[in-house]
Structure 1
Amino acid sequence: MDLTAPLLFLLKLTTLLVVLGATLWWVLARRGGHRRARAAFGSILLTVTATLVALGAAEAITRYAYRGVITTGDDRSYFSHRWMRTDVGPLNRMGFRERNFNLTPAPGVYRIAVIGDSFTWGQGIRDDQRLTNLLQAQLDTHGARFQVLNFAQPGAQTDDEVRILRESALKAHPDYILLQWFINDPEGHNFSGRPWTYRLLPSDVLNSYLYSHSAFYFLVDQQWNLLQQKLGMGAGYSYDQYMVRRFRDPNGKDSVAAQRELERFLDICRRHGVPVGIILFPELTSNLLHGYPLGFLMDRVLALCRARGIPCVDLRPVYAGRPPAELHVDRFDGHPSALANRLAERAVYAAFAPDWTRLAQHPTLTSPASASGVRGSALHSAVQ
């Protein structure tokens, strides 16, 4: 962790406090004499000390009361940092949360590379609870030799996944590539229109430091953001409203750019002769089948899958009807829970495993897709 910014902030804060303290002492001494200055200064010091003790107690109580919280929706909070220190092991040589492996598969091994974001990476869950590990365990029961490799990166957008595909996944000589897609993938790295709220404190450095080191500050910040939403402060619109406004028009420049980036991923797979499938994750909310405001984004990907003959698993029906609390890691983190990953694994396994097993047991077999330069896959249209 780079401590330069926090240390610089503390140096500035200390300097400011010294200057303010000296100025206050001078003013008090000048107006009331040294005796009154000492008394007033002592009262101020007592107040500051009591405040710090109260904040320390609040922090201790918060950490104890919320000890069951695993992570939060981002990786910057105190809870997420704590989880990553205690539950996430070292990354492999390529920088992924995956075991080390030889770039060249052993003879007879059917290698599946899964590329995605924090949903596939496994935010808030153990390695063995992730989609990729569950797929590995199920495929191992077939007797054929499979290797499912996790190439996920938290926060990855489609352009990041193109880079991971080129720079990492293809170097591992996969027999199949699975792309995990989420509804924020079309954004790319232009987040300028996202909903915003006023900061709790006027310093970026102090906000960032306290957010990542204090459970109490995280909770206060959450309540501050909720209050702003209720009062219509800040941006005044939700994330879903922002996405609808930005991508509603399929011919708009942002929609076209997002489609082009996804097609670039698929084209690279085709040029390298590696079959590809897509797993579509929705937001884990309660209205996935009827009235889901961002469903049109998933429908566009499904249409692309049908047009290209690419297998595509839509997880909306899988999660529909399930209470969101069951599907979330915890109350502060909407990432897929262990249960949500098991449900996804069953759907993905049912859609892809028959083809993988056939090709792993008979590697000389080809499919209609092979004739167009794509190796191996006999799966047909989108699975919905």
Structure 2
Amino acid sequence: MGEKKHSIRLWALILVAAELALAAFVMVRFELDLAKPLGWDLMWIVPIFVVHAVIPLAWRRAFLLGVTALLLVRILGGTSAMYAIAVGLALIGICHLPIAFRWRVSLVTAIAIGLALAAAHVVHGGHHLEAAIPILGGMFMFRLVLYLYDIRHEKPGAATPLERIGYFFLLPAPLAPFFPALDYQIYRRSWYQKPAFSTYQVGMLWISRGVVHLVLYRVIYHFFSPPTEFVHDLAGVAAFCLSGYLIYLRVSGLFHVITGGLRLFGYELPETHHLYFFAHDFSDYWRRINIYWKDFMTKMVFYPSFMSLRKLKLGHQSRLAVATIIVFIATAVLHAYQTFWLRGDFEIHQTDYAFWGILGLLVVANNLLDARRGPAKRDESKSWSWKKGLSISLRALGLFLLFAVLWALWSAQEWKVFADVMSQAQNAPAWQVLMLAGIGVAVMALGTLGQWIAHHGFNPFEAHPGLKRSVATTVLPLLFFGILWQWHSAVGIPGWLGARFDVVWVDQPNERDQINRERSYYEGLLAGGASVGAEEEKMTKEVVPDIRGVLYQERFGPAEVWGATWTTNRWGMRDKYYSKSKPPGVYRIAMTGASYTAGRGVKDGANFESLLEDQLNADHAGVEILNFATSANCTVQRLADLEMRIVDFHPDALFLICHGGEVDRNLRALARLVEERHEDFTFPFIDDLFEKAGVKRGDRQADTIRKLKPHEDELMSWVYRQIGDVCRAHDITPVWVYLANTRTRSLELAEEARPYAAAAGLVTIVLDDAYGGLPPEKVALSESDSHPNELGHQLVAKRLYEKLVDYRDEIGLPLPPESIQMTKLSKSH
């Protein structure tokens, strides 16, 4: 019996639905792209798929459009979603007005310019429209160009209105503004082009492959992507280059999930990427990576340019070369255009032109060489030999390494940064050279062996494998990730692997990006300018001449800073008034830290320091916590503040609030002051350390960090030993407290500085589960600002109070027995 292409048997439907449920579970648990905006609501994709697969074919386009509209409401809110739908329908409608084609293009361009001005905040489009623009950009910025190109010569009635609208309002689009440049003709032709089960199962295979890519990206991003200033030898250069290239797995993973998802709704789409790391010449690479983009540029730029060049009476090869160069120049510009619609800024760096220019010239040279060699020598026959396999492996490895260097150039964004990193390759110990050479030989051997296996009938990367193999290839990676997560959440993966899994399964910035975020924040705070508001400039003193760098202004505010009311007392603390002399019968705590402790982004009295003080005084009147925290400081600067200011307030205890990355934060703070030619480093030890390391005033930050890196253990031991000695000399109990970042919550980071504090005699407290197990979006100010919100501060205060009860004897904190008992009871429940 024949079966309709859009129909599917019950057992096959159950199989695909189960695979989809497993994939959605893993994506939610690992907070992968597409899943993060929805959380557990992503699981609705399973019943949506099932309903779509069983309803009559005539209803399916309308059903998908309805789901997309609901998703827009879920992502943007009702009003912004209505703006997105209205503007989108208006753009589509203009394309079909009964006027000359050039006028339709002009009207579409005028609307696009208006939206661009709103996106750039040149004109005020209103909050709701501006919120919708990134998603509108993702849906229309390339597809509208393709659509206008194709409908110009389309026959009347070639497509239904639902089909036309559905091209733009595709289901994953609201979740993924960064979307493949799907061709309109391919979209139309592909709907249920093959039997439904075949299309669905390949879609699930691609989704599973995409999940693997995204998880691999997460591993590379966190553990093999060093900050530029920490690259100091050949191995570091190799890690920087390779990681910069390999994190493209995020793009290929996202596009696999998107196109796989579209296949679940009947679209028999081609691959977006095909084994691009295995390309063995430049033209082959261009054909394999981001295939939809290559097709878009060929259709919209290459062919029109190639045909237009005939007017110049150029030869065939010359036209081919010039048209190819135009394609790559246009690609650089269009990437900036895409970034503008998604992020609101249009910027092309010199390294963008360099990357695309070099790639374009290499492809041109490759094409011209192929043309001269002729078809006979270009023929890739089915015959295979070890010599041929080794040659292909060698070329593929060489191309991979070349592109790793090019991607390092592109990601560096500045020539001087790229040159600085690459110059470190001269520091090449023999063992590193041998290790990297050995890895290269092993890769070539494995590549050649893989070709031999494929030549003998087994291709592990077959595009359309048989059912059993397809299901196994789909399910096994997803099961592995799911079981790994379940194991860790239930009992905890022990040791080294568990600590790293803590980092991988949460979407959070790596060390490199966290450094860049902190640097932009700190340097903006210190240097002023556009990134610093007027209130922020007023609330900080002029840069003080000693090593502390920045202190808060005395008696500042109340004023709005970072979106919240901010007030400082007469001593420049973000706190209520305290006398310098300690009142009789009072237990006084001096708390020092950075912007988390100061309470950036929350109103006065809502930071965890104030909440903790209130809780302690609810149990035992007579506890004062003085908040000496200032933005942009490090442990060395806190030591200086302890000696110059804190001891004058006669505290009973000193709480140093740390967040991980303390070693690097100290190196960066010192390097920043060196680059600014700061004169007074307060401590003779620091001056001696600079002399020993060869640091000179005015050295670039990256150079200073590399010089100080071998001395970091000496620096950290000294600073904590000094803190302990100063505290003991003034009868102060020093307490080191680790508070994790709202996003980077690995407790392993505590072990970076805790041993130094413990060795110096400080009481050490690690606030495990400081945020009550809530996800970052619940306890952070925003996706771009990881500082705790008011709920985050409440949870930190609660957890710190519980820890103080446990450590009360070591700290000497006077707590009545009833409060201790109540805390134990609350923790047991």
The bucket for the TM-score relative to the shorter chain is 0.5 to 0.7
The structure with the largest alpha-carbon Rg is 2
1:349 maps to 801
Give 1:137's match in structure 2, choosing from 597, 614, 619. Answer: 614
Partner amino acid, structure 1, of 2:751? D
**Alpha-carbon separation, structure 2, partners of 1:100 and 1:331:** 34
- 2:310 equivalent to 1:310: no
- 1:331 to 1:83, Cα distance in 2 relative to 1, 3 A: farther
- 2:602 equivalent to 1:125: yes
Shift of residue 313, structure 1, vs aligned partner: 1.9
Give 1:270's match in structure 2, choosing from 716, 728, 739. Answer: 728
**Alpha-carbon separation, structure 2, partners of 1:306 and 1:129:** 30
Give 2:566's match in structure 1, choosing from 89, 100, 108. Answer: 89
Contact 1:157 1:184 in 2 (8 A): no
Alignment of 1:55-74 (within 5 A): 57-58=122-123, 61=126, 74=521
- 1:62 to 1:188, Cα distance in 2 relative to 1, 3 A: farther
**Alpha-carbon separation, structure 1, partners of 2:780 and 2:598:** 15
Give the secondary structure class of the aligned counterpart of 2:732. Answer: coil
**Alpha-carbon separation, structure 2, partners of 1:168 and 1:325:** 37
Shift of residue 255, structure 1, vs aligned partner: 3.4
CA RMSD of aligned residues (A): 4.0
1:104 maps to 581
2:141 maps to none
1:336 maps to 788
Give the secondary structure class of the aligned counterpart of 1:252. Answer: helix
1:175 maps to 652
Partner amino acid, structure 1, of 2:797? E
Alignment of 1:152-231 (within 5 A): 152-186=629-663, 187-188=665-666, 190=668
Give the secondary structure class of the aligned counterpart of 1:330. Answer: coil
Contact 1:109 1:146 in 2 (8 A): yes
2:750 maps to 298
Give 1:147's match in structure 2, choosing from 609, 624, 631. Answer: 624
- 1:151 to 1:65, Cα distance in 2 relative to 1, 3 A: farther
Give 2:712's match in structure 1, choosing from 254, 272, 284. Answer: 254
Shift of residue 344, structure 1, vs aligned partner: 2.0
Query: Over residues 197-243 of structure 1, what are the superposed CA-to-partner deviations in whole Å (9 max), with x where a residue is unaligned?
Result: xxxxxxxxxxxxxxxxxxxxxxxxxxxxxxxxxxxxxxxxxxxxx9x
1:322 maps to 774
Contact 1:131 1:345 in 2 (8 A): yes
Partner amino acid, structure 2, of 1:302? R
Contact 2:733 2:811 in 1 (8 A): no
Contact 2:724 2:760 in 1 (8 A): no
**Alpha-carbon separation, structure 2, partners of 1:270 and 1:173:** 12
**Alpha-carbon separation, structure 1, partners of 2:661 and 2:732:** 26
Normalising by structure 2, we get a TM-score of 0.27
Shift of residue 352, structure 1, vs aligned partner: 2.0
- 1:287 to 1:159, Cα distance in 2 relative to 1, 3 A: closer
Partner amino acid, structure 2, of 1:283? N
Shift of residue 59, structure 1, vs aligned partner: 5.4
**Alpha-carbon separation, structure 2, partners of 1:177 and 1:263:** 14
**Alpha-carbon separation, structure 1, partners of 2:667 and 2:726:** 21
Shift of residue 359, structure 1, vs aligned partner: 5.0
Aligned residues between the structures:
252
Gaps of 5+ in 2: 1-113, 132-516, 526-530, 537-558, 673-701, 817-829
Alignment of 1:365-380 (within 5 A): none
1:378 maps to none
Contact 1:286 1:322 in 2 (8 A): no
Contact 1:87 1:126 in 2 (8 A): yes
Give the secondary structure class of the aligned counterpart of 2:645. Answer: helix
Shift of residue 112, structure 1, vs aligned partner: 0.9
- 1:96 to 1:326, Cα distance in 2 relative to 1, 3 A: same
Give the secondary structure class of the aligned counterpart of 2:794. Answer: helix
Give the secondary structure class of the aligned counterpart of 1:178. Answer: strand
Give the secondary structure class of the aligned counterpart of 1:107. Answer: coil
Contact 2:724 2:762 in 1 (8 A): no
**Alpha-carbon separation, structure 2, partners of 1:348 and 1:285:** 18
Shift of residue 58, structure 1, vs aligned partner: 4.2
Give the secondary structure class of the aligned counterpart of 1:342. Answer: helix
**Alpha-carbon separation, structure 2, partners of 1:64 and 1:146:** 50
Shift of residue 360, structure 1, vs aligned partner: 4.1
Partner amino acid, structure 2, of 1:344? V
Query: Over residues 135-178 of structure 1, what are the superposed CA-to-partner deviations in whole Å (9 max), with x where a residue is unaligned?
Result: 11111112331111101001111111112111221111111111
- 1:64 to 1:144, Cα distance in 2 relative to 1, 3 A: farther
**Alpha-carbon separation, structure 2, partners of 1:65 and 1:78:** 22
2:270 maps to none
- 1:52 to 1:165, Cα distance in 2 relative to 1, 3 A: same
Contact 1:134 1:342 in 2 (8 A): yes
**Alpha-carbon separation, structure 1, partners of 2:813 and 2:746:** 34
Contact 1:142 1:357 in 2 (8 A): no
Contact 1:181 1:279 in 2 (8 A): yes
**Alpha-carbon separation, structure 2, partners of 1:179 and 1:107:** 24
- 1:85 to 1:300, Cα distance in 2 relative to 1, 3 A: closer
**Alpha-carbon separation, structure 1, partners of 2:608 and 2:129:** 31
Gaps of 5+ in 1: 1-49, 67-71, 195-241, 290-294, 363-384
Contact 1:286 1:324 in 2 (8 A): no
**Alpha-carbon separation, structure 1, partners of 2:716 and 2:756:** 12
Partner amino acid, structure 1, of 2:784? F
Contact 2:581 2:650 in 1 (8 A): yes
Shift of residue 117, structure 1, vs aligned partner: 0.7
Give the secondary structure class of the aligned counterpart of 2:617. Answer: helix
Whichever structure has more strand as a proportion of its residues is 1
1:216 maps to none
**Alpha-carbon separation, structure 2, partners of 1:279 and 1:338:** 20
- 1:254 to 1:107, Cα distance in 2 relative to 1, 3 A: same
**Alpha-carbon separation, structure 2, partners of 1:122 and 1:110:** 23
Identity %: 22
**Alpha-carbon separation, structure 2, partners of 1:341 and 1:181:** 15
**Alpha-carbon separation, structure 2, partners of 1:192 and 1:169:** 21
1:283 maps to 741
**Alpha-carbon separation, structure 2, partners of 1:106 and 1:192:** 37
**Alpha-carbon separation, structure 1, partners of 2:775 and 2:611:** 22
